[in-house]
Amino acid sequence: MSSRPPRQGSVMATDFAVFLRRFLTTHLAGLRGYSPNTIVSYRDAFKLLICYFRDERSTPPEKLTLELIDVAAITGFLDWLQTSRRNTASTRNQRLAAVDSFFTWMQSQDPARMACYQDILAIPAKKHDRPALAHLTVEQTRQLLALPDRSTRKGRRDATLLATLYDTAARAQELADLTVRDLRLDSPAMAVLTGKGRKTRHVPLADNTTALLVAYLAEQQLDRAGHDDYPVFFNQHRSKLSRGGIAWIIRKYQAQAADPALANAHLSPHILRHSKVMHLYDVGIPLPYIRDILGHVDLSTTEIYARASTEAKRKALEAAYTDVVTTDLPEWNQNSELLNWLASL
């Protein structure tokens, strides 16, 4: 049997093309179960890498092989992202993470070039200042969730949607994918969310959110038999809401806010997720519990909320007690006793 790579049309596929296709389809989508959005992000990183070789190294895509991709090439690619494409350090690091994932996998697929792949994996991420973790205060969150007009059918839907999004700390896509089957509204009430990598987690629901969901499902006749697989939140065409649709609902009510700080905040579904977690941490919920609610695999990912909360408290304390501790100290070189002691040494 021939070991040559298969042809794609009239052009022989390179080893890079063959392995990249397997990585994106069989490995990421099949074995790892990554979400379509994550796979698209990885795909876009490699599209840029291919463009870099074509435009900067005069290597057309049909001639790009694994042998041409080494430490110097990847380093040049990362520099090109920042200089020519004006990418931030954060975006550069995201592209590097996709490259690292590919070459980590390639070590098991092509052991003969393992040393080269490990050299690429040793390329460090670029340090950058992390932006402050944006979130709403408890009062701002309460104001936002109270804005839908609960005397109307659409307002009741939106009030229930916002409450569920906040209470579960769900990602927008997780809320969009929520079906009637995923809700348990008997005590203890909970929602089953399906997150990244198709991993599921059970998130408890507060009593008020549960009451809103019970009334909403009854009004929409979703509590009847045969509706288990219907989306909980849907548009006028009875199709599940998209992430963009959920974001639009949030912005619609934000525009009605009387509080200028809330009206002018950078608000998105993810900000509500951050807000719920910050509120949990501030009242003393342990980080391992918060990690499970968020669906994080590694506790270190969740620790950013602890750091953000600590920094916010430090700034608040500094603002409140500016004059209690002073830095007034005598100049050491004006202290004759100290000078005499030093001279005697």
Nearest to 171 by CA among 118, 79, 246: 246
What is the tally of helices (H) and strands (E) in the chain? 15, 5
Selected catalytic residue, list 156, 273, 274, 279: 273
> Residue 55 burial by CB count (10 A; 0-12/13-18/19+): exposed, middle or buried?
exposed
Say if residue 247 is in the same domain as residue 275. Answer: yes
How far apart are alpha carbons 121 and 119 in whole angstroms? 5
| 325 belongs to a structural domain | no
Contact 46, 20 (CB under 8 A): yes
Selected catalytic residue, list 22, 27, 240, 270: 270
- pLDDT tens-place values along the chain, 345 residues long: 444 555 545 557 899 999 999 999 888 887 777 778 788 889 999 999 999 999 999 999 999 999 999 999 999 999 999 999 999 888 999 999 999 999 999 999 999 999 999 999 999 988 765 544 467 888 888 999 999 999 999 999 999 999 999 888 888 999 999 999 999 999 888 888 887 767 788 888 889 999 999 999 999 999 999 999 999 999 888 899 999 999 999 999 999 988 888 888 888 888 888 888 777 766 666 666 666 666 544 444 444 444 444 444 444 434 444 444 444 445 545 556 666 666 665
Say if residue 145 is in the same domain as residue 103. Answer: no
Say if residue 147 is in the same domain as residue 209. Answer: yes
Q: Domain containing 76: what range? A: 7-121
Contact 128, 89 (CB under 8 A): yes
* Bond into 188 cis (ω within 30): yes
| 330 belongs to a structural domain | no
CATH number of the domain within which 224 lies: 1.10.443.10
Say if residue 178 is in the same domain as residue 311. Answer: yes
Question: Is there a catalytic annotation at residue 32?
Answer: no
Q: How many CB atoms neighbour CB 221 within 10 A?
A: 9
Nearest to 202 by CA among 296, 292, 285: 292
Say if residue 55 is in the same domain as residue 196. Answer: no
- What pLDDT shows up at residue 70? 95
Say if residue 111 is in the same domain as residue 219. Answer: no
Say if residue 103 is in the same domain as residue 171. Answer: no
For the chain, the straight-line distance linking the first and the last C-alpha, in angstroms and rounded, comes to 87
Say if residue 143 is in the same domain as residue 274. Answer: yes
- Six-digit token string for 184: 């348990």
CA torsion angle 218 223 227 233 (round to 10): 50
Three-class SS of residue 231?
Answer: strand
Q: What is the CA radius of gyration of the chain?
A: 27
* The total number of structural domains that make up the chain: 2
| 336 belongs to a structural domain | no
Q: What is the DSSP string of 235-293?
A: -TTSPBPPHHHHHHHHHHHHTT-S-HHHHTS---HHHHHHHHHHHHHHTT--HHHHHHH
How far apart are alpha carbons 166 and 146 in whole angstroms? 13
- What pTM, to 2 d.p., does this model score? 0.54
- Six-digit token string for 79: 């520099």
Say if residue 230 is in the same domain as residue 176. Answer: yes
User: Among 54, 89, 121, which residue terminates a domain?
Assistant: 121
Say if residue 208 is in the same domain as residue 235. Answer: yes
Question: Is there a catalytic annotation at residue 270?
Answer: yes
| 112 belongs to a structural domain | yes
Selected catalytic residue, list 92, 95, 171, 296: 171
Contact 216, 183 (CB under 8 A): no
- What pLDDT shows up at residue 137? 83
Question: Is there a catalytic annotation at residue 273?
Answer: yes
> Residue 108 burial by CB count (10 A; 0-12/13-18/19+): exposed, middle or buried?
exposed
Say if residue 28 is in the same domain as residue 161. Answer: no
Contact 265, 136 (CB under 8 A): yes
Selected catalytic residue, list 113, 196, 227, 240: 196
Nearest to 133 by CA among 288, 318, 312: 312
CATH number of the domain within which 68 lies: 1.10.150
The amino acid at residue 270 is H
Residues contacting residue 323 through CB under 8 Å, at least 6 positions apart: none
Say if residue 223 is in the same domain as residue 142. Answer: yes
